[in-house]
Amino acid sequence: MRRKVVAGNWKMNTTVSEGEKLAERLVDADVSAVDVIVAPPFTHLDRVGSVLEKTDIALAAQTLSVDTFGAHTGEVAGEMLADLGCSYVIVGHSESRGRGENDEIVAQKIERAFETGLTPIICIGEDEEVYNSGERLDFLKGQVRSALGAVDSSKAFMFAYEPIWAIGTGKTASADDAQSVIGEIRGELPKEVADDIRILYGGSVKAENVEGFLSKDDVDGVLVGGASLKADSFKAIIDGASHV
């Protein structure tokens, strides 16, 4: 049985002090029934990590460099993230893809994640144009196959299906649609791991809709942006997920 996941992506929000306070307000969340992951900005990882150390909430980075140590100004290596206590790293978020992270770079980042002991949360998703074109599944399967080329299937990894038109817009896929797309994605996974790999839905998830998504057989968790920035709304999502 796949354990449900609630992951919060803070994106480039909060100062370090504000992030630390947000993390402090998560310490009493009941995370006994679901896996909870928080992805603050790089600058916050040390202090937020210290706050969350006493909880079962796992720490994630929002991306990582394709390179290891060396002359790569401004980059952050997977080794550094693992040393800061990160267990997960988001790879291929649509906001990163929108700034030039193509499938090839996503594949390199997945490899670096495995090399440095981080579990990649691999984001895929179509924009509105692809959604309307009727070629959505072909597009998504292409992203999945490219990522799978870099995956070490002896290790844990996750996919997050995040339709771009639903991110930060208040629009969501319907729970049935998320189930149907995620079921198709699962069908692309190697047979020996397909039943174990967790696939999340992301896109305007909130407390009011989380149970609908998670009641679907193939939807194993949620990746939450905006609603993870307030402790009360994130805890309400965790509670909702825990009751499915």
∠ CA 179-184-186, nearest 5°, is 90
Q: Does 65 bind ligand PEP (CB under 6 A)?
A: no
Among 167, 181, 210, 241, binds ligand PEP (CB under 6 A): 167
Four-residue CA torsion sign, 177, 220, 95, 150: negative
DSSP for 79-147, please give it. Answer: HHHHHTTEEEEEES-HHHHTTT--HHHHHHHHHHHHHTTPEEEEEE---HHHHHHT-HHHHHHHHHHHH
Residue 119 burial by Cβ neighbours in a 10 Å radius (0-12, 13-18, 19+):
middle
Asked if residues 200 and 220 have their Cβ atoms less than 8 Å apart, the reply is: yes
Asked if residues 8 and 234 have their Cβ atoms less than 8 Å apart, the reply is: yes
Q: Does 45 bind ligand PEP (CB under 6 A)?
A: no
Among 162, 163, 164, 235, binds ligand PEP (CB under 6 A): 162
Q: Nearest residue by C-beta to ligand PEP?
A: 225
Decide if 93 is catalytic: yes
Min dist. Cβ of residue 103 to ligand PEP (A): 18
By CB under 6 A, which span of 12-20, 22-30, 111-119, 161-169 interacts with ligand PEP? 161-169
Min dist. Cβ of residue 192 to ligand PEP (A): 29
By CB under 6 A, which span of 36-44, 45-53, 75-83, 217-225 interacts with ligand PEP? 217-225
Catalytic-labelled residue, pool 93, 95, 101, 126: 93
Active site residues: 93, 162
The footprint of ligand PEP (CB under 6 A) covers 9, 11, 162, 167-168, 202-205, 223-227
